[in-house]
């Protein structure tokens, strides 16, 4: 009897010594089929020791809300000397109830604790990241981008035990968000995450490529700085928020991942300063941009040269520096808005506010401060910032494009003005395409039909008119005959007051047809002159075919088109003969023969009448013919 009482007493005392584990009851287990539950609750915490999952008797040192940093736990002073640096080791324990019996559950385990940890479900190891150790100095740091999976028991409960140790990171403890899913639901969520971050990554990479191509084609420093800025932003996303780098390179060390993660903190102030300086040189009128940017590049070098523990403790300083630079730039641009009210300043301030918003949200989430219902705004903020810059750059490009079009249009108008003095076709004949290629000393020899036209008694008739009437008459005349000349591909080579020299490169027939059509037009033009009270002007035309030398000459820095040829002189003499012969058109045998050869196989040949001029009236050593048709009188 005494023995039985002793056993019962021992069992009673044993039950009294079992410590009740902190418990969290799932709000709605069925809801986890479609969604998740973010668990923020009290956990048992044991400092400096790894309490086995089977140990239910050891009393915890604290009951502490998770996620949290053990840097601020209310521990004895001698322990605080260690934990305030983030270093240390410990055990966290929590019992989950109200789960669906025998159901598989999962939760993301990436960076739940720094810098190494193990997770047990009841007594089963379900996740390991690195090698945690009670003697935190012996920790082997690592972070695995994976999930932890467990199965609830038949009562719908599980006890989670987590061993964490940290040997260098500035904050320690159970720091990550603990979000529970059913396993199938988590798989769908994870797939969506991969898609979302892949899209974000694609957008940022496209922005980088766009900026690099722009910088190559335009030799723009602003585009290079923006590309570097976006890349530094992307390094934060790919190494911390959704570590695609680990997914692509599973063997990458935790230390290197941290150094890559810090690139954004170190480089953003530098590149954003250099970028804004390129956009608006007036922003840094009194403070050289390189002075503000220099610390970024110095600290970046230190990031990859100093021990990781020291680099890690430089981060808060760099965060303060980053927000100081962003704040300073916002103030400087705000000042420019009041002065210039330009789109650059307005866009800059909006984008800086977006960047600051994302950065603040990121820092608050790291310090476990509730922000926008636990979301991470840094990724959309970074993408939105980058897109804002691209839209701004596109706007600037559009302005440059419109300016280029305007300049091009002005140049075209200028060229048109120049071509009034130096015909474009003349330039093409001497192998130049543009007026800008017009150089002195260029020349070319070519065969051509040559037309010389001159008004009869123009000087005498002008004396009867007011000066403005003289120029009106000339303008009407040239406007009427120029389209006819262009119709037959003629080039007006010279103006001598009312006289012109026209050349038809390597062609004779068009010169003859052009002369006939000009004289036909003069019939109507004389009637128009008469209706305006102007004299009924007649013109004489001389035609010849021969060699001409086309070229350019320079005198007193003035370049001019020049044509040299005895055959041009012959054409002028032939035209002057029209006065004495009283004929509207005279053509030499050279151009008649050349035209006959050109039209030898043309049905109908040349449609005009030719009349030979007696040699005694000829002033040249060639046979001359009068050319006319049924519309033109053979009399001038």
Bond preceding residue 115 cis, omega within 30 of 0: yes
Residue 365 or residue 556, greater confidence: 365
Residue 470: band (very low, low, confident or very high) from pLDDT cuts 50, 70, 90: confident
- Do 475 and 384 fall within a single domain? no
pTM of the entire predicted model: 0.62
**Per-residue pLDDT, 565:** 81
Task: Specify if 407 maps to a domain.
Answer: no
**Per-residue pLDDT, 318:** 85
- Do 177 and 247 fall within a single domain? no
Q: How far apart are CA 251 and CA 244, in angstroms?
A: 13
Give 20-36 pLDDT, tens digit per residue.
889 999 999 999 999 99
pLDDT at 407 over 80: no
Residue ending a domain, choose from 158, 183, 208: 183
Contact residues for 506 (Cβ-Cβ < 8 A; gap 6+): 446, 447, 448
Residue 15: band (very low, low, confident or very high) from pLDDT cuts 50, 70, 90: very low
Identify which of 544, 490, 496, 541 has the alpha carbon closest to the alpha carbon of residue 515.
Answer: 541
CATH assignment of the domain containing 27:
2.60.120.260
Give 145-174 pLDDT, tens digit per residue.
889 999 999 999 999 999 999 999 999 999
Cα dihedral across residues 271, 272, 273, 279: positive or negative: positive
Task: Specify if 202 maps to a domain.
Answer: no
* Unique residue bearing structure tokens 């013109």: 539
157: tokens are 């409960």
Task: Specify if 175 maps to a domain.
Answer: yes
- Do 92 and 233 fall within a single domain? no
Give 193-202 pLDDT, tens digit per residue.
888 888 878 8
- Do 237 and 298 fall within a single domain? yes
pLDDT at 16 over 60: no
Residue 149 or residue 633, greater confidence: 149
**Per-residue pLDDT, 352:** 67
Q: How far apart are CA 470 and CA 478, in angstroms?
A: 12
**Per-residue pLDDT, 558:** 54
- CA 204 and chain centroid, separation: 12
CATH assignment of the domain containing 508:
3.30.70.1230
In the chain, what percentage of residues exceed pLDDT 70?
81
Residue 331 or residue 9, greater confidence: 331
189: tokens are 């969520």
Task: Specify if 420 maps to a domain.
Answer: no
- Do 179 and 89 fall within a single domain? yes
Lowest mean pLDDT among 11-15, 223-227, 276-280, 605-609: 11-15
- Do 337 and 254 fall within a single domain? yes
- Do 74 and 163 fall within a single domain? yes
**Residue 323 CB coordination number (10 Å):** 17
Identify which of 311, 293, 290 has the alpha carbon closest to the alpha carbon of residue 302.
Answer: 311
Cα–Cα distances (Å) from 241 to 199, 216, 263, 384, 434, in that order, read 14, 32, 14, 16, 58
Query: Which of the listed ranges 41-50, 465-474, 523-532 does the model predict with the highest average pLDDT?
Result: 41-50
Domain containing 165 equals 18-183
379: tokens are 């990724």
DSSP β-bridge partners for residue 494: 501
The answer to whether 599 touches 606, Cβ cutoff 8 Å, is yes
Residue 604 Ramachandran class (φ > 0 left, ψ -120 to 50 alpha, else beta): left
Collapse the DSSP code of 179 into the 3-class scheme (helix H, G, I; strand E, B; otherwise coil) and give the result. Answer: strand
- Do 376 and 447 fall within a single domain? no
542: tokens are 């001389």
pLDDT at 17 over 50: no
Q: How far apart are CA 248 and CA 256, in angstroms?
A: 14
How large is the C-alpha radius of gyration of the chain? Answer: 47
Task: Specify if 209 maps to a domain.
Answer: no
257: tokens are 């991942």
Residue ending a domain, choose from 157, 183, 209: 183
**Per-residue pLDDT, 543:** 95
pLDDT at 372 over 70: no
Where do runs of H (alpha helix) occur along 252-342?
Answer: 254-279, 289-303, 308-340
What integer best gives the mean pLDDT of the chain? Answer: 82
**Per-residue pLDDT, 604:** 47
Task: Specify if 592 maps to a domain.
Answer: yes
Task: Specify if 210 maps to a domain.
Answer: no
- Do 383 and 433 fall within a single domain? no
Task: Specify if 370 maps to a domain.
Answer: yes
What's the mean pLDDT in 227-255?
A: 83
> How buried is residue 48: exposed, middle or buried, by Cβ count under 10 Å (0-12/13-18/19+)?
middle
- Do 449 and 547 fall within a single domain? yes
Residue ending a domain, choose from 400, 417, 434: 400
Q: How many domains does the chain have?
A: 3
Bond preceding residue 564 cis, omega within 30 of 0: no
**Per-residue pLDDT, 425:** 63
**Per-residue pLDDT, 207:** 80
- Do 86 and 152 fall within a single domain? yes
**Per-residue pLDDT, 607:** 64
- Do 382 and 436 fall within a single domain? no
Backbone angles phi, psi at 547, to 5 degrees: -90, 140
Give 545-557 pLDDT, tens digit per residue.
999 887 766 555 5
Lowest mean pLDDT among 365-374, 458-467, 624-633: 365-374
Contact residues for 450 (Cβ-Cβ < 8 A; gap 6+): 501, 502, 503, 504, 511, 543, 544, 545, 546, 548, 565, 567, 568, 571, 591
């Amino acid at each position: 009897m005494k023995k039985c009482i002793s056993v019962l007493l021992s069992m009673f005392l044993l039950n009294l010594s079992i410590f009740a584990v902190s418990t969290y009851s799932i709000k709605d287990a069925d809801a986890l089929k479609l969604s998740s539950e973010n668990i923020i609750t009290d956990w048992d915490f044991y400092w400096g020791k790894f309490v086995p999952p089977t140990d239910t008797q050891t009393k915890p040192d604290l009951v502490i809300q998770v996620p949290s940093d053990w840097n601020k736990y209310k521990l004895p002073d001698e322990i605080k000397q260690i934990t305030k640096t983030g270093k240390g080791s410990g055990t966290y324990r929590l019992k989950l109830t109200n789960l669906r019996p025998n159901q598989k559950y999962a939760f993301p385990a990436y960076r739940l604790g720094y810098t190494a940890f193990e997770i047990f479900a009841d007594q089963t190891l379900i996740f390991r990241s690195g090698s945690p150790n009670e003697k935190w100095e012996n920790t082997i740091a690592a972070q695995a981008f994976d999930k932890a999976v467990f199965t609830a028991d038949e009562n719908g409960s599980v006890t989670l035990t987590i061993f964490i140790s940290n040997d260098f990171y500035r904050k320690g403890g159970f720091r990550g968000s603990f979000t529970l899913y059913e396993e199938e639901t988590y798989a769908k969520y994870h797939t969506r995450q991969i898609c979302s971050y892949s899209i974000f990554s694609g957008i940022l990479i496209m922005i980088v490529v766009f900026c690099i191509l722009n910088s190559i084609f335009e030799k723009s420093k602003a585009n290079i700085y923006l590309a570097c800025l976006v890349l530094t932003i992307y390094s934060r996303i790919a190494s911390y928020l959704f570590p695609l780098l680990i997914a692509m390179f599973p063997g990458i060390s935790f230390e290197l991942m941290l150094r890559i993660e810090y690139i954004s903190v170190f480089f953003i102030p530098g590149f954003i300063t250099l970028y804004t300086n390129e956009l608006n040189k007036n922003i840094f009128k009194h403070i050289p941009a390189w002075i503000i940017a220099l610390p970024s590049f110095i600290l970046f070098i230190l990031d990859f040269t100093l021990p990781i523990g020291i680099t890690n403790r430089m981060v808060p300083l760099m965060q303060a520096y980053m927000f100081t630079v962003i704040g300073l730039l916002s103030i400087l641009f705000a000042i420019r808005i009041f002065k210039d009210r330009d789109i650059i300043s307005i866009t800059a301030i909006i984008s800086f506010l977006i960047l600051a918003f994302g950065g603040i949200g990121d820092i608050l989430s790291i310090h476990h401060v509730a922000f926008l219902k636990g979301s991470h705004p840094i990724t959309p903020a970074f993408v939105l910032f980058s897109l804002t810059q691209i839209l701004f750059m596109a706007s600037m490009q559009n302005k440059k494009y419109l300016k280029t079009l305007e300049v091009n249009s002005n140049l075209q108008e200028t060229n048109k003005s120049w071509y009034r003095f130096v015909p474009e076709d003349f330039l093409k004949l001497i192998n130049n395409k543009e007026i800008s290629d017009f150089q002195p000393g260029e020349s070319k020899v070519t065969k051509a039909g040559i037309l010389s036209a001159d008004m009869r008694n123009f000087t005498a008739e002008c004396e009867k008119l007011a000066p403005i009437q003289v120029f009106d008459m000339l303008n009407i005349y040239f406007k009427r005959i120029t389209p006819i000349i262009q119709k037959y591909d003629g080039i007006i080579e010279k103006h001598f007051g009312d006289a012109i020299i026209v050349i038809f490169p390597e062609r004779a027939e068009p010169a003859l047809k052009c002369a006939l059509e000009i004289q036909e037009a003069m019939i109507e033009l004389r009637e128009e002159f008469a209706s305006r009270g102007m004299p009924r002007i007649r013109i004489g035309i001389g035609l010849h075919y021969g060699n001409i030398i086309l070229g350019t000459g320079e005198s007193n820095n003035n370049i001019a088109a020049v044509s040299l040829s005895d055959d041009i002189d012959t054409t002028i003499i032939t035209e002057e003969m029209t006065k004495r012969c009283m004929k509207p058109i005279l053509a030499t045998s050279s151009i008649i023969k050349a035209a006959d050869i050109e039209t030898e196989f043309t049905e109908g040949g040349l449609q005009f009448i030719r009349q030979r001029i007696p040699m005694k009236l000829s002033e040249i050593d060639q046979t001359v013919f009068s050319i006319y048709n049924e519309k033109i009188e053979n009399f001038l």
